Amino acid sequence: MLSGIDYVYAVWKARSFSAAARRLFISQPALSAAVKKAEKELGLPIFDRSHTPLQLTDAGRAYIEAAGRIFRIRHDLQRYCDDLAGCGSGTLSLGGTNFFASCFLPPMIEAFSKKYPQIRLSVTESDSADLYHKLSAGELDIIVDSGIYDSSLYDIMPFYVDHLLLAVPADFAVNARFSEAQLRRADVLAGRHLAAEVPAVPLSAFAQTDFLLLGRGNDMYRRARGLFQAAGMEPTVRLYLNQLMTAFHMARQGIGATFLTDTLVSLSVPDERLIYYRLEGALATRETFLAVQHKGYRTRAMERFIQSALALYPMLRGAETPVCEEGDKRP
């Protein structure tokens, strides 16, 4: 049963009484009455109702901060009680970007659920920044990511390494300059992009090429910007996108060049409309990992999921490729 603090927090998250009422499946007058009761008990208003969207008063900011701490304590208590009951019950909240949620989480969930079918699982897809925010707030238990993280806040468990490739539409004239460096999907499947004898291309040679990049908040944005900076160039960005798979499909249509990973290329449908080039530098190698709160309570369900997931990847570079939407390979 929800209490006053739950109602107040729901209004704050929705920044609206009407939106919060819809999410809570109660009437707006009932929700308003519950919030007014909480404000009366506090002795001060929590919301400044003169602004749209709603703003917090000074007392309201203190109330919401305290509510967050209370919810974390409540969450940890429930997880501790679930542990006392063993792995026969409980919940586990997982998160990842679209690419990781599509390629890595399905086999992990399948393996875990076979052993612990009573654990209720949920999956959140979002960008890396939002995933870490939710992990820190206790809304997620484990995320799959490959970006920069704060080691004082999160513990990571690496399990997979992939490599960035420059993907250029095959009909772009710039390709004629690099015939010896060109790679096709079959070459990537054979691992030729990892061979030192295959020359890497200078990114600066593509200064006049239109690019498709992922947007801020995504690790691939940071890597792309770092690669361009190292090449001493400012790219012409035709589109900023949210998902790696979207960048792949748009590049196939000749809209622009982009950065893809060898994992995605291996999983993609056979297609000769893209030419791939090897890239050099630390930013072109990407380590994928599971991340959890550094100081958070780690339940038995979390530990079992981590053990089960890592068992799917006995070596850091898996011999096989993850399941994804367009291939049907299994790690």
Q: What is the CATH number of the domain that holds 177?
A: 3.40.190.10
Residues 66 and 98 in one domain: no
* HSE value, Cβ hemisphere, 13 Å, CA-based, for 69: 5
What pLDDT score was predicted for residue 138?
Answer: 86
Nearest to 160 by CA among 331, 317, 329, 323: 317
Q: What region, left, alpha or beta, does residue 203 occupy, with left being phi > 0 and alpha being psi -120 to 50 degrees?
A: alpha
Nearest to 209 by CA among 183, 247, 252, 238: 238
Residues 298 and 271 in one domain: no
Residue 328 in domain: no
pTM for the predicted model, two decimal places: 0.69
Please count the structural domains in the chain. Answer: 3
| 215 contacts 240 by C-beta, under 8 angstroms | yes
Residue by residue, DSSP assigns 183-209 as: B-HHHHHTTGGG-TTSPPPPGGGGTTS
Q: Which of 81, 113, 131 is the last residue of a domain?
A: 81
Residue 76 in domain: yes
What pLDDT score was predicted for residue 239?
Answer: 97
Residues 279 and 191 in one domain: yes
Residues 29 and 93 in one domain: no
Residues 272 and 155 in one domain: no
Q: What is the CATH number of the domain that holds 53?
A: 1.10.10.10
Note if the bond before 53 is cis, omega within 30 degrees.
yes
Neighbours of 129 (CB within 10 A): 13
Tokens in use for 166? Answer: 């420059």
Residue 299 in domain: yes
Torsion of CA 267, 247, 285, 221, to 10 degrees: -150
Helices (H) and strands (E) in the chain, counts: 12, 11
What pLDDT score was predicted for residue 88?
Answer: 58
- Tell me how far apart the alpha carbons of residues 243 and 127 are, in angstroms, rounded to a whole number: 9
Q: Which amino acid is at 126?
A: S
What pLDDT score was predicted for residue 38?
Answer: 92
Residues 164 and 282 in one domain: yes
**Which regions of the chain are under pLDDT 70?**
1, 79, 82-89, 315-331
- Tell me how far apart the alpha carbons of residues 257 and 253 are, in angstroms, rounded to a whole number: 10
Task: Give the orientation angle of helix 105-115 with respect to helix 300-311, to 10 degrees.
Answer: 120
Query: Which residues on neighbouring strands pair with residue 211, listed in sequence order?
Result: 237, 257
Cα-based distances in Å from 25 to 4, 136, 141, 259, 270 = 15, 27, 26, 44, 48
Residues 250 and 294 in one domain: no
What pLDDT score was predicted for residue 212?
Answer: 98
Tokens in use for 312? Answer: 């799917």
Residues 153 and 292 in one domain: yes
Domain of 42 in residue numbering reads as: 4-81
End-to-end Cα distance, the chain: 42
Query: Using only C-alpha atoms, what is the Rg of the chain?
Result: 24
What pLDDT score was predicted for residue 113?
Answer: 94
Report strand pairing: 285-293 vs 142-145. antiparallel
